[in-house]
């Protein structure tokens, strides 16, 4: 063999071997982001593969029979806030003429309902108002707003972002769908009661999931509601048990 060709072969073989070794050392999950197919309502956020979002959609009252009986009547997301109290920002702007004082009072009263049921102060009493905050933006602000949701029959949506490594909630946003007419359901049963729905949605914001069992229709975290419903303004024992299993001194 020509001496120059032999020298070329000797140089190439080690380089090829090194390339194979490097490829074989790539972790099995190296391309996990490209190959994964996450659930529709749990999209991975931006470039951070460890932050995930879950959307809880609160529907108008179902005409289907409730699901099978359950004994607990609460369900945990498996994530929670690592530190409390949690601050939130209310955008009271709405197309229905609800006064800002009414909106902030309903939401803050709902937050205090959860605070009163545990040994931790979950929500900061000094909430903020901001007409510019929006739903669905991971921006470090726990936004509570009014707006139109594209799917019919949806009363409200709460999105919760969390870190999959630490199981820690990092943010929530809440949207009250203006396809429904909001107000005080106690004074006018034809209205969707803001305090009632806000109490349910804030349960999601601290780590509780929806319940759909026929034996649990009275609990605050039951997944359906209707105009004039004010029963979910207060918590049931199952709601409190679920809450205290996550946040109790």
User: With 70 as the cut, is the pLDDT of residue 14 above it?
Assistant: no
On whether residue 229 sits in a domain, the answer given is yes
Q: Which residues contact 147 (CB under 8 A, 6 or more apart)?
A: 135, 175, 176, 177, 178
Higher pLDDT, 16 or 50: 50
| pLDDT for residue 69 | 67
Question: 3-state class of 37 per DSSP?
Answer: coil
Q: What is the pLDDT of residue 119?
A: 87
Lowest mean pLDDT across 67-71, 81-85, 189-193, 243-247: 67-71
What digits encode the pLDDT tens for the residues 165-186? Answer: 999 999 999 999 999 999 999 9
Q: What is the predicted pLDDT for the residue at 107?
A: 98
Give the structural domain span for 99: 42-246
Count up the domains in the chain and report the number: 1
Would residue 108 be called left, alpha or beta, if left means φ above 0 and alpha means ψ between -120 and 50 degrees? alpha
Q: Is the dihedral of CA 106, 56, 60, 95 positive or negative?
A: positive
190 in a domain, yes or no?
Answer: yes
Q: Which residue has the tokens 């951070």?
A: 48
> What is the pLDDT at residue 70?
65
Do the Cβ atoms of 110 and 74 come closer than 8 Å? no
Say what the pTM is.
0.80
Q: Does a structural domain hold residue 3?
A: no
Residue 196 belongs to a domain with what CATH number? 3.40.390.10
Q: Is residue 99 in a domain?
A: yes
Say if 25 falls within a structural domain.
no
CA-closest candidate to residue 201, choices 220, 226, 229: 220
Mean pLDDT computed over 216-239: 97
Residue 119's closest CA among 84, 156, 79?
Answer: 84
Residue 35: predicted pLDDT: 29
Domain assignment present for residue 18? The answer is: no
Query: Confidence class of residue 249 from pLDDT cuts 50, 70 and 90?
Result: low
Q: 196-226 pLDDT, tens per residue?
A: 999 999 999 999 999 999 899 999 999 999 9
Residues paired with residue 56 on neighbouring β-strands, in sequence order: 158
Q: Which two tokens stand for residue 188?
A: 């006018």
Residue 51 main-chain phi, psi, to 5 deg:
-100, 125
pLDDT tens column, 122-143: 999 999 999 999 999 999 999 9
- With respect to residue 211, please indicate whether it lies within any of the assigned structural domains: yes
Which residues touch 184 (CB under 8 Å, ≥6 apart)?
A: 102, 191, 193, 194, 195
**Of 15-29, 129-143, 225-239, where does mean pLDDT reach its minimum?**
15-29
Q: What percent of the chain has pLDDT over 90?
A: 73
- Do residues 70 and 209 touch, judged by C-beta distance below 8 A? no
Q: According to the model, what pLDDT value does residue 148 have?
A: 96
Query: Residue 34: inside a domain, yes or no?
Result: no
């Amino acid at each position: 063999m020509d001496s120059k060709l032999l020298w070329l072969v000797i140089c190439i073989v080690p380089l090829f071997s090194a390339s194979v070794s490097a490829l074989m050392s790539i972790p099995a999950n190296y391309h996990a982001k490209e190959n994964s197919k996450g659930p529709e309502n749990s999209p991975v956020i931006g470039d951070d593969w460890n932050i995930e979002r879950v959307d809880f959609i609160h529907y108008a009252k179902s005409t289907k029979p409730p699901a099978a009986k359950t004994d607990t009547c609460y369900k945990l997301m498996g994530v929670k806030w690592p530190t409390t109290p949690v601050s939130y920002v209310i955008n009271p702007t709405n197309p229905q003429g609800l006064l800002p004082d009414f909106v902030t009072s309903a939401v803050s009263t709902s937050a205090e309902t959860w605070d009163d049921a545990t040994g931790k102060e979950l929500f900061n009493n000094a909430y903020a108002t901001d007409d510019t905050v929006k739903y669905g933006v991971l921006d470090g602000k726990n936004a509570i707003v009014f707006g139109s949701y594209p799917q019919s029959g949806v009363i409200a949506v709460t999105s919760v972002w969390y870190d999959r490594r630490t199981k820690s909630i990092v943010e929530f946003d809440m949207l009250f769908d203006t396809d429904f007419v909001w107000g005080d359901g106690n004074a006018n049963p034809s209205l969707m009661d803001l305090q009632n729905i806000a109490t349910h949605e804030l349960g999601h914001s601290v780590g509780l999931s929806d319940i759909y069992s026929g034996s649990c229709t009275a609990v605050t975290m039951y997944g359906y509601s209707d105009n004039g419903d004010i029963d979910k303004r207060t918590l049931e024992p199952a709601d409190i048990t679920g809450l205290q299993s996550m946040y109790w001194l």
